[in-house]
Amino acid sequence: MAGQDDRSGAVARAAAGNGAYGRQSGPSPRLAAEVQLLRQAAGGRSQVIAGPKVVDGRHFTAVLITNVRLSTTKFDVTTTDMLFLLPPDYPRLPPIGCYLNYKWKTADHHFTLQSYHGAPHLREQGWYWYCVGLGGRFDVGGGARSWRPAARPENGHNLATLFIAARHAINHEE
């Protein structure tokens, strides 16, 4: 199964880095609340880990979800890990797509094995970018306009709604 053979390595690769918590020692109350919502959405078999990550000098908060269930009709494995890189000004701006640690052969034009729209390239670290968002492209000029966080995370778009949208898009044919 994808993601099962090197779980601790995947966690370390996903969360490695420093400084992306808004320069604090831990997650903000907002991020902590969103991670809790995400844990509920991901289910008990998944682990959710958030930590700072630096990619090419850019600071992010990495949010790793392990054991994400995959459709057995679309994939030859049952689970993958999913990674979101939150930009420093999250939640004002959403992450640009997500990453999977499973490289599958597919005609799905959202999974190109290349990163676009300013998303960092993580292929050397075993992560493959998937173009997904809430309402379209997740770049500042495109899908970010569809991103609607609220003052209270549970009342607007958040990591859980993004995860649910990504999991649905990955598992279903267009």
The answer as to whether 63 is a domain residue is: yes
User: Which of 34-43, 116-125, 153-162 is the most confident on average?
Assistant: 34-43
Number of independent structural domains in the chain: 1
Instruction: Count the neighbouring beta carbons within 10 Å of the beta carbon of residue 23.
Output: 9
The answer as to whether 95 is a domain residue is: yes
The answer as to whether 2 is a domain residue is: no
HSE value, Cβ hemisphere, 13 Å, CA-based, for 165: 20
Round the average pLDDT of the chain to a whole number and report it.
Answer: 77
Range of the domain at 97: 7-171
| Residue range 111-139, pLDDT digits in tens | 566 665 677 888 889 898 877 765 444 44
Q: Decide: 52 and 15 in contact? Cβ < 8 Å.
A: yes
State whether the Cα torsion 38-170-128-98 is positive or negative.
negative
Q: How confident is the model at residue 163 (pLDDT cuts 50, 70, 90)?
A: very high
DSSP state at residue 120: P
The answer as to whether 16 is a domain residue is: yes
The answer as to whether 1 is a domain residue is: no
Q: Decide: 117 and 39 in contact? Cβ < 8 Å.
A: no
DSSP 58-76: EEEEEEEEEEEE--TTT-S
| Residue range 75-124, pLDDT digits in tens | 888 899 999 999 888 998 888 888 988 776 655 555 566 665 677 888 88
Q: Decide: 50 and 37 in contact? Cβ < 8 Å.
A: no
User: How much is the pTM?
Assistant: 0.78
- Cα–Cα distance for residue pair 103/79, rounded to 1 Å: 12
